[in-house]
Amino acid sequence: MDVLVRLLQLLMLLLTLPLHLMALLGLWQPLCKSYFPYLMAALADKTNRKMENKKRELFSEIKGLMGTSGKVALLELGCGTGANFQFYPAGCRITCLDPNPHFEKFLKRSMAENRHLQYERFVVAPGEDMKQVADGSMDVVVCTLVLCSVQSPKRVLQEVHRVLRPGGVLFFWEHVAYPRGSQAFMWQQVFEPTWKHIGDGCYLTRETWKDLENAQFSEIQMERQPPPFKWLPVGPHIMGKAVK
Ligand SMILES: C[S@@+](CC[C@H](N)C(=O)[O-])C[C@H]1O[C@@H](n2cnc3c(N)ncnc32)[C@H](O)[C@@H]1O
């Protein structure tokens, strides 16, 4: 299987050689950072239509964390275009964080469309180092389709744990690897080196549930879902919450 994967990866590499050469020369990344927000904006409505019921159900739990103030401090980690805003209840005070500043234009549009929320600030930083966000300052962290792209899921989850208050909750929705040894997993391995460039650093074969289980959360609830789009090599998804 390993030899077959290597051969097919080589074939993919040859078919997409200009892309890999540009990446090698450092020309691809800046281009990708500029076009990726447009791609995410184009996909957001489609994804939200498919996931509407599930996202609504997951984020309805935020209300329970509001206490008597009726407010909740929420960090949208890897916020992208702000695709989740429409699912949040009124009373959320949102801090957005993303290392790609090109998302700001799209973020502002989502903010204008969701005036029931209060926006605090947009922090341009990676999730691995969120020093602009104080310890224990967040009631909720939301992370959707992000842990596939970060450099270190482990460090990001340590940072999430740090910024959450005791009892605070991380809500997640992430795509993950198919089972090892399956044909679908083999194709994920074949596509991954090319997909990583197209998808702004997105890995297809991460077993993110293991990172979540190994992080220091006191309680985790997680459900596995089939991929929302069959035509993409992204695999099954995991959705759930982790409590500090
Ligand atoms: C596939 S998009 C998902 C965006 C949004 N969360 C959504 O559900 O539509 C991945 C996002 O993760 C961000 N990202 C990449 N590396 C990151 C990192 N190290 N820390 C935080 N966010 C990161 C990207 O800039 C992008 O906004």
How high is the mean pLDDT in each 10-residue block of the chain (244 residues)? 91 95 94 95 93 96 91 97 97 98 96 97 98 98 98 98 98 97 95 95 97 96 91 92 98
Testing ligand 1's pocket by substitution, the residue of 35, 58, 98, 102 carrying the most ligand atoms inside 8 A of its CB is: 98
The answer to whether residues 120 and 178 touch, using CB atoms and an 8 Å cutoff, is no
Nearest to 100 by CA among 141, 149, 162, 134: 149
What's this model's pTM, rounded to 2 decimal places? Answer: 0.95
Q: What is the DSSP string of 205-216?
A: S--HHHHHHHSS
Can you state the angle between helices 183-198 and 17-24, rounded to 10 degrees? Answer: 50
For 138, phi and psi rounded to 5 degrees?
-115, 140
Ligand 1 contact via 96 beta carbon (within 6 Å): no
